Protein backbone atom coordinates (compact mmCIF):
# COMPACT_ATOMS: atom_id res chain seq x y z
CA UNK A 1 0.00 0.00 0.00
CA UNK A 2 1.41 3.39 -0.97
CA UNK A 3 1.03 6.13 1.60
CA UNK A 4 1.33 9.86 1.05
CA UNK A 5 1.24 12.70 3.52
CA UNK A 6 -1.39 15.16 2.39
CA UNK A 7 -3.68 17.76 3.87
CA UNK A 8 -6.92 19.34 2.73
CA UNK A 9 -6.66 22.96 1.68
CA UNK A 10 -9.62 25.32 1.44
CA UNK A 11 -9.49 27.82 -1.43
CA UNK A 12 -11.63 30.88 -0.81
CA UNK A 13 -12.19 33.19 -3.80
CA UNK A 14 -11.54 36.83 -2.91
CA UNK A 15 -13.77 39.70 -4.08
CA UNK A 16 -10.77 41.57 -5.50
CA UNK A 17 -9.65 38.42 -7.35
CA UNK A 18 -7.44 35.50 -6.51
CA UNK A 19 -7.76 32.98 -3.73
CA UNK A 20 -6.83 32.67 -0.08
CA UNK A 21 -5.72 29.19 0.96
CA UNK A 22 -6.02 27.79 4.48
CA UNK A 23 -5.45 24.35 5.99
CA UNK A 24 -7.91 23.44 8.77
CA UNK A 25 -5.45 20.88 10.21
CA UNK A 26 -2.45 23.25 10.07
CA UNK A 27 -3.91 26.64 11.09
CA UNK A 28 -0.65 28.55 10.68
CA UNK A 29 -0.49 27.54 6.98
CA UNK A 30 -2.11 30.42 5.10
CA UNK A 31 -1.27 31.68 1.62
CA UNK A 32 -2.84 33.18 -1.46
CA UNK A 33 -2.55 33.31 -5.22
CA UNK A 34 -3.73 35.49 -8.09
CA UNK A 35 -5.40 32.46 -9.68
CA UNK A 36 -6.13 28.86 -8.72
CA UNK A 37 -2.87 27.48 -10.12
CA UNK A 38 -0.78 30.06 -8.25
CA UNK A 39 -2.75 29.45 -5.06
CA UNK A 40 -2.20 25.68 -5.28
CA UNK A 41 1.51 26.15 -6.01
CA UNK A 42 1.84 28.45 -2.99
CA UNK A 43 -0.16 25.97 -0.90
CA UNK A 44 2.50 23.30 -1.42
CA UNK A 45 5.20 25.72 -0.31
CA UNK A 46 3.43 26.97 2.82
CA UNK A 47 2.40 23.44 3.85
CA UNK A 48 5.98 22.23 3.42
CA UNK A 49 7.39 25.12 5.45
CA UNK A 50 4.86 24.75 8.26
CA UNK A 51 5.39 21.00 8.57
CA UNK A 52 9.19 21.48 8.57
CA UNK A 53 8.86 24.07 11.32
CA UNK A 54 6.64 21.80 13.41
CA UNK A 55 9.16 18.97 13.01
CA UNK A 56 12.08 21.26 13.93
CA UNK A 57 10.20 22.51 17.01
CA UNK A 58 9.18 18.99 18.07
CA UNK A 59 5.51 19.89 17.76
CA UNK A 60 2.93 17.23 16.92
CA UNK A 61 1.97 16.64 13.31
CA UNK A 62 -1.80 16.24 13.20
CA UNK A 63 -3.56 13.60 11.18
CA UNK A 64 -5.23 14.95 8.08
CA UNK A 65 -8.98 15.29 8.05
CA UNK A 66 -11.18 15.43 4.99
CA UNK A 67 -12.74 18.80 4.27
CA UNK A 68 -15.81 19.15 2.08
CA UNK A 69 -14.76 20.96 -1.07
CA UNK A 70 -11.08 20.90 -0.05
CA UNK A 71 -8.14 20.21 -2.36
CA UNK A 72 -5.58 17.61 -1.26
CA UNK A 73 -2.09 19.11 -1.05
CA UNK A 74 1.11 17.13 -0.53
CA UNK A 75 4.25 18.73 0.95
CA UNK A 76 7.66 18.51 -0.75
CA UNK A 77 9.33 15.10 -1.07
CA UNK A 78 11.85 15.68 1.74
CA UNK A 79 9.05 16.34 4.22
CA UNK A 80 7.08 13.38 2.85
CA UNK A 81 10.03 11.03 3.37
CA UNK A 82 10.83 12.28 6.88
CA UNK A 83 7.22 12.10 8.06
CA UNK A 84 6.58 8.70 6.50
CA UNK A 85 9.68 7.27 8.18
CA UNK A 86 8.65 8.73 11.54
CA UNK A 87 5.01 7.60 11.26
CA UNK A 88 5.91 4.04 10.30
CA UNK A 89 8.62 3.72 12.97
CA UNK A 90 6.21 4.99 15.63
CA UNK A 91 3.35 2.80 14.34
CA UNK A 92 5.59 -0.23 14.80
CA UNK A 93 6.56 0.87 18.31
CA UNK A 94 10.22 1.21 17.41
CA UNK A 95 12.61 3.81 18.75
CA UNK A 96 15.27 5.69 16.81
CA UNK A 97 17.79 3.46 18.61
CA UNK A 98 15.97 0.39 17.25
CA UNK A 99 16.28 1.81 13.74
CA UNK A 100 19.98 2.55 14.26
CA UNK A 101 20.58 -1.06 15.30
CA UNK A 102 18.55 -2.42 12.38
CA UNK A 103 20.49 -0.23 9.95
CA UNK A 104 23.84 -0.89 11.67
CA UNK A 105 24.44 2.84 12.00
CA UNK A 106 24.63 5.51 14.69
CA UNK A 107 21.65 7.01 16.49
CA UNK A 108 22.27 10.47 14.92
CA UNK A 109 22.39 8.90 11.42
CA UNK A 110 19.09 7.09 12.04
CA UNK A 111 17.53 10.27 13.46
CA UNK A 112 18.50 12.24 10.33
CA UNK A 113 16.17 10.02 8.30
CA UNK A 114 13.32 11.83 10.06
CA UNK A 115 14.65 15.34 9.46
CA UNK A 116 13.48 16.94 6.20
CA UNK A 117 16.65 19.00 5.72
CA UNK A 118 19.03 16.05 5.97
CA UNK A 119 18.63 14.90 2.33
CA UNK A 120 19.10 11.14 2.72
CA UNK A 121 19.99 9.20 -0.40
CA UNK A 122 17.51 6.88 -2.06
CA UNK A 123 19.71 3.98 -0.96
CA UNK A 124 19.44 5.11 2.69
CA UNK A 125 15.68 5.47 2.39
CA UNK A 126 15.40 2.03 0.76
CA UNK A 127 17.40 0.45 3.61
CA UNK A 128 15.29 2.23 6.23
CA UNK A 129 12.05 1.16 4.54
CA UNK A 130 13.29 -2.43 4.39
CA UNK A 131 14.19 -2.30 8.10
CA UNK A 132 10.54 -1.38 8.71
CA UNK A 133 9.32 -4.22 6.49
CA UNK A 134 8.31 -1.77 3.78
CA UNK A 135 9.38 -0.90 0.26
CA UNK A 136 10.30 2.58 -0.96
CA UNK A 137 8.16 3.70 -3.90
CA UNK A 138 8.97 6.88 -5.84
CA UNK A 139 6.49 8.57 -8.15
CA UNK A 140 5.78 11.76 -9.98
CA UNK A 141 2.54 13.59 -9.44
Q: Are 48 and 29 in contact (CB under 8 A)?
A: no
Instruction: Tell me the pTM.
Output: 0.87
Beta bridge partners of 72: 8
Q: Which residues pair with 9 in a beta bridge?
A: 71
Q: Is residue 138 part of a domain?
A: no
Q: Say if 42 falls within a structural domain.
A: yes
Last residue of a domain, one of 58, 73, 88: 73
Shared-domain flag, residues 110 and 53 = no
For residue 29, which of 51, 13, 59 has the smallest C-alpha distance? 51
Structure confidence by residue, pLDDT tens digits, 85-115: 999 999 999 999 999 999 999 999 999 999 9
The count of structural domains within the chain is: 2
Which stretches in the chain have pLDDT values below 70?
Answer: 1-2
Question: Residues 92, 66: one domain?
Answer: no
Q: CA of 89: how far to CAs of 7, 34, 119, 132, 134, in Å?
A: 21, 40, 18, 7, 11
Amino acid sequence: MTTNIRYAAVLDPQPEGGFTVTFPDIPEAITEGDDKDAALFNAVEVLTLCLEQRMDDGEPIPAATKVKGGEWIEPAAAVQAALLMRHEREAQGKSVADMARALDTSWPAAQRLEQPGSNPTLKQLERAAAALGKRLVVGLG
